[in-house]
Chain A
Amino acid sequence: MNFVALRMLTGDRAKYFGLVFAIAFCTFLLENQTSIFANIMRRTASQILDVTDAEVWVMDPQTEYWDQTKALEDTDLVRVRGVRGVQWAVRLFKGNPVARTLDGNFDVSYLIGIDDATLAGAPRHMVLGSWERLREPDSVVVDQAGYLLLFPGKPLALGGTLEMNDHRVSIVGISDALPLFASLPIMHTRYSEAVNFLGRERTQLSFIIARPDPGLTPQELTARIHEATGLRARTTEEFMWDCIKYYIQHTGIPVNFGITIGVAIIVGAVVAGQTFYLFTIDNLKQFGALKAIGVTNWRLVGMILLQAFTAGALGFALGTGLAATFFEIMLRQLATRHTVLMWQSVALTAGCILFVVSVASLLSIRRVLVLEPAAVFRA
């Protein structure tokens, strides 16, 4: 009877397409909004994820997330290095100087100062030039998007000059750093240069990045550092989630996205559910005739489930295809680079669509089960 169920489903083209497109719309909206939300949240931890050399971050106990740092004492680096299990530990500076071009363009930037000796924490994905050239005096590596902000309309090129805090610095590389929550240029330079580009303060050390000895997990090392120094130590993953949680708890972003996602679920459930329910009601006489002919209730339940899950699967596939196309286009835009359709969004949406389709099926099944087959004799 499966072919009967599918032919009943596709027989009325208008209702069939209406049902599939309602589910596709719901799928697209859910995948789109949840993925954009997740991508925005991930951007809050981009600089942490860009540092691929270290697995452990050490900071002042009052530092909650990347953008809010309380400087450490220079002696803290020595204390951390003294903790058993630390393979190496180096300084990392973070500041926000204003960068100006010779044309007069300027922008507040994110300046990352990496260890002078090892260059640990340097950007590893380069578009142009080499991060090793950071050893040259007064040199910076600028990210691609930041370069285009500072030098609009100009092709990517090395050798450009910037002025920061009365220092003339030369661009020796262009990196493909992960995009930030705010669209600001990201610059990498050596620690000793960075503190000069921003202006001297009594304490300058933002973070210490470290790597555990072989055989020691980052979690074990963070526990040891905290115990030995009293400083806050987090693994890269933990620190990333600290940043994301901070933005979730302290901004209205999740509320806005939550409302949109909620509306998508409600609209999708109501439209898809009601369309399928009405489809069943319209076919009640046909189900009654099948009951009279001797089709069992279990067979009818199977037919309705097949209809619902076929429409659900098609709508979900179509919606996911649309969402994938959308994110493929986003991926090619500079402002929305690295924004991807996340598999977690697809899985979450699949769960929601499954729920919507199940509810619609149950309502429809109930109507068919309580239908008296004798109803077919009523004209």
Chain B
Amino acid sequence: MRTEDQLGVSCRGVRKQFGSGDARVEALRGVDFETRVGELSFLVGPSGCGKTTLISIIAGLLDRTDGELLVLGTRLDDLSPRDRILFRRRNLGFIFQQFNLLPALTAAENVAVPLIAAGMNRRRATDQSKALLAELGLADRVDFLPATLSGGQQQRVAIARALIHEPRVVVCDEPTAALDHRSGEAVMQLLAAHAVQPGRTVIVVTHDSRVFHYAHSIAHMDDGRIVNVTRPNDTSSTTTDHPSELQEHYA
């Protein structure tokens, strides 16, 4: 039996509808999903199955229509809009498919943004971000603008930005989709090495079956539901899927 403090995220019967009447679309149809702290959880499935909607709800960026959601044991519904923003600022880190770095800021300044948004002095925040970028192998790129960095380097900057304030939940949306295989592999290695830590849960939405072997658990979504959860490296797992079979399926 898992206790609540072992769970990073817990969804029970989460539903989400967009529009109304004939234009109503049910994006999530009762999702049960949970992630454990200290683990890298993958959320996989075909396009349009509701993955992005689910992580948007988990991140508190979108309201659900029904169901129960706990993030780090906190019911986001109980928080005021302002407290929800503060909760997100303090506890969540984001890595986007298109990086979403601010083009006018240097790599170090981009990484420092979450700290500055939280009220830290700009110089101190930039010093911290430079140290983290150095850890991620970008010591010589701290003063470069995003446009002058390769895709892999930009994603590393985005990872640093997601981790700089030491969040307890990191949400990654297709972090390797815009990268070639080698860069994608490097990004996943960095995520596995730096993002996965005790007390932190990392959720990765991906189509990229070549990186499935990094996952501690893989939740398969289809048509707005979680249809299967596998734990590839868990010998006691009751599921039968194996990473190689999954790779074939998603290839």
Q: Measuring CB to CB, which residues of chain A are less than 8 angstroms from any residue of chain B?
A: 1, 3-4, 7-8, 10-12, 285-286, 288-296, 299, 372-374, 376-379
**B117 lies within 8 A of A294 (CB):** yes
Which B residues between 85 and 114 are near A, CB-CB below 8 angstroms? 85-86, 88-90, 92, 94, 96-98, 100, 102-105, 109, 113-114
Which residue from A3, A292, A294 sits with its C-beta under 8 Å from B90?
Answer: A294
List the A residue with the shortest CB-CB distance to B97: A379
Pairwise interchain contact B82-A376, C-beta atoms closer than 8 A: no
Question: Are B174 and A379 interface neighbours, CB within 8 A?
Answer: yes
Contact between chains at A373 and B61 (CB < 8 Å) = yes
Query: Once the chains bind, are B122 and A290 in contact (CB under 8 Å)?
Result: no
* A294 near B88: Cβ-Cβ < 8 Å: yes
Cα distance A11–B102 in the bound complex, in angstroms: 9
Given A374-B56, A377-B52, also A292-B61 (CB < 8 A): yes
Of A12, A296, A372, A376, the residue contacting B96 (CB under 8 A) is A376
**Is the Cβ of B102 less than 8 Å from the Cβ of A286?**
yes
Report which B residues bind A (CB closer than 8 A). 52, 55-56, 59, 61-62, 82, 85-86, 88-90, 92, 94, 96-98, 100, 102-105, 109, 113-114, 116-118, 122, 161, 173-174, 177
Excluding A294-B88, A372-B61, 7 further A-B contacts by CB distance (< 8 Å) are A4-B105, A7-B105, A292-B61, A294-B90, A376-B100, A377-B52, A379-B97
Contact present for B117 and A290 (CB under 8 Å): yes
Q: What are 6 residue pairs bridging A and B, where the CB atoms are less than 8 Å apart in the complex?
A: A1-B117, A7-B102, A290-B113, A293-B94, A293-B114, A377-B96
Closest chain A residue, CB of each to CB of B56: A374
Give 7 closest A-B pairs by Cβ, nearest first.
Answer: A294-B89, A11-B104, A374-B56, A289-B100, A374-B61, A7-B104, A373-B61
Contact status B102-A292, CB under 8 Å: no
- Report yes or no: B114 in contact with A294, Cβ–Cβ below 8 A: yes
Nearest CB of A to B115, in Å:
10
A4 and B116: CB pair below 8 A?
Answer: yes
Would you call A296 and B85 a contact (CB within 8 A)? yes
Cβ–Cβ < 8 Å partners of B82 in chain A: 296
**A293 contacts B52, CB within 8 Å?**
no
Q: Nearest Cβ in chain B — how far from A254, in angstroms?
A: 46
Docked pose: A8 CA to B110 CA in angstroms: 12
Residues of B contacting A1 in the complex (Cβ-Cβ under 8 angstroms) = 116-117
| Alpha-carbon distance between A372 and B122 when the two chains are bound, in angstroms | 27
**How long is the Cα–Cα vector from A4 to B109 in the complex, in angstroms?**
9
Set A3, A11, A286, A292: member contacting B88, Cβ < 8 A: A292
A301 to chain B, nearest CB (A): 14
Report the minimal beta-carbon distance from A378 to chain B, rounded to whole angstroms: 7
CB-based contact A378/B52 at 8 Å:
yes
Residues of chain B within 8 A (CB-CB) of A296 are 82, 85
Contact with A293, one of B89, B98, B109 (Cβ below 8 angstroms) = B89
How many whole Å from A17's CB to the nearest CB in chain B?
A: 14
Complex alpha-carbon distance, A291 and B89, angstroms: 9
From A10, A291, A293, A296, name the one whose CB has the most chain B CB atoms within 10 angstroms: A293
Q: Which residues of B contact A7 (CB under 8 A)?
A: 102, 104-105, 109
Interface centre among A1, A12, A293, A377 (most CB of B within 10 A): A377
User: Closest chain B residue to A3 by CB distance?
Assistant: B122
Docked complex Cα distance between A82 and B177 (Å) = 99
The answer to whether A379 and B116 touch across the interface, beta carbons within 8 angstroms, is: no
CB-based contact B102/A294 at 8 Å: no
**Candidate in B113, B173, B177 with the most chain A CB atoms within 10 angstroms:** B113
Residues of B within 8 A of A299 (CB): 117
A166 to B109, CA, bound (A): 86
User: Given the complex, which residues of A lie within 8 Å of B56, measured CB to CB?
Assistant: 374, 377
Residues of A within 8 A of B104 (CB): 7-8, 10-12
Complex Cα–Cα for A291 and B82 (A): 12
Q: Is the CB of A377 within 8 A of B55?
A: yes
Q: Specify the chain B residue showing the minimal Cβ separation from A378.
A: B52
Complex CA–CA separation, A280 to B89 (angstroms): 23
**Nearest-CB distance from B155 to chain A (Å)?**
14
Which residues from chain B contact A4 at a C-beta distance below 8 Å? Answer: 102, 105, 109, 113, 116
A4-B113, A8-B102, A379-B97 known; A372 vs B90 contact (CB < 8 Å): no
Instruction: Provide the bound-state CA to CA distance between A243 and B212, in Å.
Output: 87
- Cβ contacts under 8 Å, B116 to chain A: 1, 4
Q: Are B100 and A286 in contact (CB under 8 A)?
A: yes
Q: How far is the CB of A241 from chain B (nearest CB, A)?
A: 52
**Complex contacts, B98 vs chain A, CB 8 Å:** 285, 379
- Minimal beta-carbon separation of A9 from chain B (angstroms): 8
Given known A-B contacts A4-B102, A11-B104, A292 and B94 have beta carbons under 8 A apart: yes
Chain B contacts for A8, CB-based, 8 A: 102, 104
With A4-B105, A7-B105, A11-B104 as known contacts, state yes or no: A292 contacts B174, CB within 8 Å.
Answer: no
Quote the shortest CB–CB distance from A374 to chain B (angstroms).
4
Q: With A and B bound together, what is the CA distance between A294 and B86 in angstroms? A: 6
How far in angstroms is the closest Cβ of chain B from A38? 42
A118 vs B25: C-alpha distance when bound (angstroms): 95
With the chains together, A121 CA to B56 CA distance in Å? Answer: 82
In the bound assembly, the distance between CA atoms of A1 and B177 in angstroms comes to 30
CB of A281 to closest CB in B, whole Å: 15
Q: Is the CB of B59 within 8 A of A292?
A: yes
Q: Write the chain A residue with the least CB distance to B98.
A: A379
Report Cα–Cα, A212/B85, bound state, in Å.
72
Which chain A residue has the least Cβ–Cβ distance from B60?
A: A373
* A11 partner residues in chain B, CB cutoff 8 A: 102-104
Distance between B43 CB and nearest chain A CB, rounded to angstroms: 12
